[in-house]
Chain A
């Protein structure tokens, strides 16, 4: 195996997977924002019979031929989903599930049929199930580059139209944009993004390449352009990582390896991203809670002092503990407030507001009432 993997193969594989990752990352951004990630899953599963039929009809395994077959089948599936939702009371998700499983089943039947085909050329089509990066040749990568390049160029060209389509399609209509055609166009680009990844990632898990990089990217930014770029880079890294791992370990299918890689990115982003990450939000909540607790101690001191005509009148800790029974917490809050110069401890151990503390209390009371 090691000898098989000379640099040339590696370079081809790396380039191919980087391209597929970048393209699916870019189009995935829009699919995720338009809540169409499941459509990607349906399209990729539906591509399987298209691949089989394209092979039966042409006898060729050239990637362009198979991609066209896959693309047409994926497109056909999308159209059927739309017809079902428009013409019946079946809901969108049920229609997707239905089309996905029916097409996938048909695809498996076609593949089984091909395996009995009296033609030595048939071997390898089943690698489309879970993907096989090692099977990429230069011609495949060239096809992927051209198709992916066209898809990215179209995305860039119609960027603002696609953006308003994704955010507010009805408003896009009021701008006299051809919303239906834009929708068809963007969906077609999604189909292209899926199709160029099928040989490497496989039909079963290709949707992960649409969903995962975009989901990870959303965590890091609030800007659509930046999100698309981050998603492209993430997709490319996932693709390359998964493909290299699967080519260096024999019999490891590429699709699952890439998905494991992508899952890593998503988990890290969910946890550690600033602002949206779970850990960041946890920290912020803790800080807020602490802030709120010490504010309430401060205000209670204020309330107690108010009954004495002197807002800096000192009180012993037990008087405050009536309101704040937890001994440790109260003491910590008082120390924190002392550190900020808002309260001071008198010699007898009584606590009082400082003039600064009184000012802060006045402000807080105004904010809370107003």
Chain B
């Protein structure tokens, strides 16, 4: 049974397709990079899998079940720029939000939730900043907070939108280590990734995306010059290549 299974997925904004007829299979325990130029639909794909937007056509199954039944098994790391970092809240509070679904209605996070959040902060080496106002964080620290928040979700499938965007080398290394440890505990991770140099050293599999699926599979097989040219060569190349 696949962790993520996408069939014939089409997503359109006002008639023009952003994702067109995508098929994708991701086995459990795989670390997959989603690679493609700007406007290729990478974020849209992640949001569609999460059920954040309604596809025009196609099915998505997570761990063999439709989204609604397994929504709680998915963790999400959004792009850093999607929230207001001047929001009046602390680092620990943001991480605790990852537990809000599990805590249940009306109840407040208690001591055990706090401990869990602190453990997640320890994994991303941010314990010292737990009580900082989030405005005071650097880009890399913001990214770590989001990662910690996803870790406490304790999901089986993680969807991450550019988790390495704008972070320094140390943070990048730390985040990659965390992704690898997620993999070794059997989790599946799909991450939008921009740095073509590091795809093969960081990830097991790759999805090359440009509105259509160009290729997907093990990095060693799929991540070829020809495929990359097809992905980044603009839409003309794709239309030429299409039967």
Contact = CB atoms under 8 A, between A and B. Distances in A.
B97 A168 contact: yes
A322 B158 CA distance: 60
A167 B89 contact: yes
B83 A167 contact: yes
Contact of A175 (B101, B108, B133, B135): B101
Contacts of A161: 100, 105
A251 B88 CA distance: 41
B149 A166 contact: no
B234 interface: no
Nearest to A228: B88
B40 interface: no
B169 interface: no
Contacts of B55: none
Interface stretch (A71-79, A102-110, A215-223, A361-369): A215-223
Contact of A166 (B74, B87, B101): B87
A370 to B, nearest CB: 13
B76 interface: yes
A176 interface: yes
A170 B78 contact: yes
B120 to A, nearest CB: 15
Interface in B35-88: 47, 50-52, 71-72, 74-76, 78, 82-84, 87-88
A171 B97 contact: yes
Contacts of A175: 72, 97-98, 100-101, 153
B82 A164 contact: no
A161 B106 CA distance: 9
Q: Is the interface of B mostly helix, strand, loop or mixed?
A: mixed
Contact of A218 (B71, B78, B88, B98): B88
A168 to B, nearest CB: 5
B145 to A, nearest CB: 11
Given A33-B88, A167-B97, A174 B71 contact: yes
Contact of A227 (B52, B71, B88, B108): B88
Main secondary structure of the interface of A (DSSP, over half): helix
A267 interface: no
A33 B87 contact: yes
Interface residues of B, number: 32
Interface residues of A, number: 26
B8 to A, nearest CB: 24
Contact of B82 (A170, A176, A218): A170
Contacts of B47: 170
B174 interface: no
B88 A174 contact: no
B105 A158 contact: yes
Contact of A222 (B75, B88, B108): B88
B24 interface: no
A83 interface: no
A224 interface: yes
Nearest to B97: A164
Nearest to A223: B88
B101 A167 contact: no
A284 to B, nearest CB: 14
Nearest to A168: B83
B109 interface: yes
Contacts of A164: 97, 100
A176 B101 contact: yes
A157 interface: yes
B78 A168 contact: yes
A173 interface: yes
Interface of A: 33, 157-161, 163-164, 166-168, 170-177, 218, 221-224, 226-227
Interface of B: 47, 50-52, 71-72, 74-76, 78, 82-84, 87-90, 93-94, 97-98, 100-101, 103, 105-106, 108-109, 133, 135, 149, 153
19 contacts: A33-B87, A157-B106, A158-B105, A160-B109, A161-B100, A164-B100, A166-B87, A168-B97, A170-B76, A170-B82, A173-B50, A174-B75, A175-B72, A176-B71, A222-B89, A222-B90, A222-B133, A223-B89, A224-B89
Given A163-B97, A173-B50, A222-B135, 16 more contacts: A161-B100, A164-B97, A164-B100, A167-B87, A168-B78, A168-B83, A170-B50, A170-B76, A174-B52, A174-B74, A174-B75, A174-B153, A175-B98, A176-B101, A222-B90, A223-B89
